A and B are shown apart, each in its own frame.
Chain A
C-alpha cells in the first residue's frame, strides 16, 4: 500500500515538474496519469498490490470532492442572485453533454467495432442498474 502511494505521488510530482518546466498548459496529475500508464505499458502488467491500493482509492473517489463541494457556502449570495442561469446551465449542459457524447460514441462504435451489439447479454452485468 505504502509503495503504491509512493508511486502515485512520484508520478504526480514528475507530472507537476514536467508541466512547469516545459510550460505545458496541462495539469500535473493528468501528466502523472499518462506517465504511470506509459510505465504500465512498458512493464506489461499491473502488480497486484498496485491494483488493490489504487482500486481502494478509486472506490472512494467521490469522497475526495466533498471538501471542494462545501465551498458552496462561500458563494451563496451569487448562487441566489443568479440562480436561474446557474441551474439551467448546470442541468442543461450536463445532461446534454452526457447524451451527445454517449450517443455519438455508441453510433461510431456500432460502425467501427459493433462487438457489443452481437452480445445483447453483455449490457446486463449489473441487473437494472446502469452507469
Chain B
C-alpha cells in the first residue's frame, strides 16, 4: 500500500499535471475568497494563490523548479495575453487617439517616476546593487521586466517576484491612492494602474470599468515599450 502511494507520489511530482492543477485550484480558491468576502482589493486572488501554493510546496518538500515544470503552461499564456491586449485597445481607439498627447507625456513622466523612485528607495535604505538593478524594471509586465533585468545585470527571477508584488500592491491599494489624489477620470485612473503596475493593475482596472481597463492595457503596453527601450540606455549612461 505504502509502496503504491510512493509510486503515485513519484509520478505526480514528476508530471506537469500536479503543478498545473495546483495553480488552477489555488487561484480558484483565491477568487472564491475574493468574491465571498465582498471583493475587497486587499484579498487579491494572486496573493492568496501564491501563499497557498508556496505553503503547499514548502510542506510537501517540492522545490520551485519542479512545480514550475507544470505551471509553465500557465506562465506561457502571458505572451498570447499580452498580444490580446490589442483588442481592448482597439475597442477604445477613438478615446486613445483623442488623448494621444496627454498619454505620451503622462507615460514618460510616470514611467520615470516609478523606476527612479524604486531605485532611489532601495538605495536610500541600503539595498545591494543586485537588488537595485532587479528593482528598476518592476513596473512592467514580467516577460519584459525579466528581459530588461537581465540586460542591465539584475536577477531576472528576483525581478519577477518584484513585478508580482508591485501588481498586488497596486491592486490592493491603487483605489485608495487614486481617491487620495482625487483623480476621477476613468482614463487617468486606468492609465496610472497600467503604467505603474502592468498586468495585475490592468486586471484590476478591467474588473472595475471598461474604459479604465482599456487605458490600463494601453499604459501597460506603452510602458513595456518605453522601459524596454529607455532603461537599458539610461543604465549604460549612468553606470557605463
Contacts and interface: CB of A to CB of B under 8 A. Distances in A.
Given A62-B199, A98-B178, A67 B68 contact: yes
A126 to B, nearest CB: 5
Contacts of B173: 91, 94-95
B90 A41 contact: yes
Contacts of A122: 186
Contact of B189 (A67, A96, A131): A131
B219 A101 contact: yes
Contacts of B121: 85, 88-89, 92-93
Given A82-B131, A86-B127, A109-B187, A104 B179 contact: no
Contact of A126 (B74, B178, B184, B209): B209
Contacts of B197: 94, 97-98
A65 B54 contact: no
B206 to A, nearest CB: 6
A56 to B, nearest CB: 9
Interface string B79-90: 111111111111
A78 B160 CA distance: 14
A46 B101 contact: no
B44 to A, nearest CB: 8
Contacts of B219: 101
A33 B74 contact: no
A21 interface: no
Contact of A125 (B103, B106, B185, B209): B209
B196 interface: yes
B78 interface: yes
Nearest to A6: B80
Contact of B110 (A40, A46, A79, A104): A104
A130 B179 CA distance: 9
A75 B74 contact: no
A86 B122 contact: yes
Contacts of A89: 117-119, 121-122, 125, 127, 135
Interface of A: 5, 8-9, 11-12, 15, 25-30, 32-37, 40-41, 46, 50-51, 54-55, 57-75, 78-79, 82, 84-86, 88-106, 108-113, 116-117, 122-123, 125-126, 129-131
28 contacts: A8-B83, A29-B78, A29-B82, A30-B225, A35-B86, A36-B84, A40-B86, A57-B80, A58-B217, A63-B23, A85-B124, A85-B125, A92-B121, A97-B114, A101-B113, A102-B192, A105-B106, A105-B183, A105-B185, A108-B102, A112-B102, A116-B187, A129-B39, A129-B175, A129-B208, A130-B179, A131-B174, A131-B209
Given A15-B83, A89-B125, 12 more contacts: A29-B143, A30-B224, A51-B87, A70-B67, A91-B169, A93-B117, A98-B170, A101-B188, A101-B196, A130-B178, A130-B209, A130-B212
